[in-house]
Chain A
């Protein structure tokens, strides 16, 4: 079952902040975040683990709220290079797979 991302789209000016949320109806095991630039493959940003340990990208931060079954990706002081579509993915070991299921994506556009 796909996690739910919000908002669907964000339009910013350079230097502004953005938050992208990812929620699941199931208990979260871990959350992956990826960015896809237009015409390219998704690229790994980070993984949020149960218990709060964070892996990955050090220019963009994220949080993991087990109780709310939600993860949030924080992009501060946005740069033009942040533009793209952001996907969260959730693992569901109860279903037998550690391969993530992805949400519908959030399109981020950063203007000069």
Chain B
């Protein structure tokens, strides 16, 4: 089944404890991206990648890191999480080029205490 898989789905952790949210897609998509969703603010782009070893900042990259060592994986890293990073996170992927539908993962709900 074609899908974007995120792990974990839920995580409660404490300020400053490094964490990684994994994202993997099995559709051989070139493009991958991370969004955070907060009430009233919609989906805000954190980072995106248009190819292996190529990543770019989105609108809200502060406090996050990503890497794209393989085509299928695009992990989101919070080196020193803070409470303002408590949010619902979505990974998405698509084929390369314009006008391609985004395929979203099921989301990861992070709570930073």
Contact = CB atoms under 8 A, between A and B. Distances in A.
Contact of A97 (B40, B48, B104): B48
Interface residues of A, number: 30
Interface in B94-113: 94, 96-107
Contacts of A43: 104
Contacts of A112: none
B43 A102 contact: yes
Contact of A102 (B42, B97, B101): B42
Nearest to A34: B102
Given A99-B33, A99-B48, A104 B102 contact: no
A89 B90 CA distance: 15
A105 B101 contact: no
A101 B106 contact: no
A2 interface: yes
Nearest to A56: B101
B44 interface: yes
A41 B33 contact: no
Contact of A44 (B45, B102, B105): B102
Interface in A68-106: 87, 89, 91, 93, 96-105
Interface in A19-68: 29-30, 32, 34, 40-44, 47, 49, 55-56
B1 interface: no
A29 B31 CA distance: 18
Contacts of B42: 2, 5, 87, 102-105
Contact of A100 (B50, B102, B106): B102
Contacts of A99: 31, 33, 45, 48, 50, 92, 94, 102
A98 B31 contact: yes
A42 B43 contact: yes
Contacts of B58: 101
A97 B50 contact: yes
Contact of B56 (A40, A89, A97): A97
Nearest to A104: B42
A29 B100 CA distance: 13
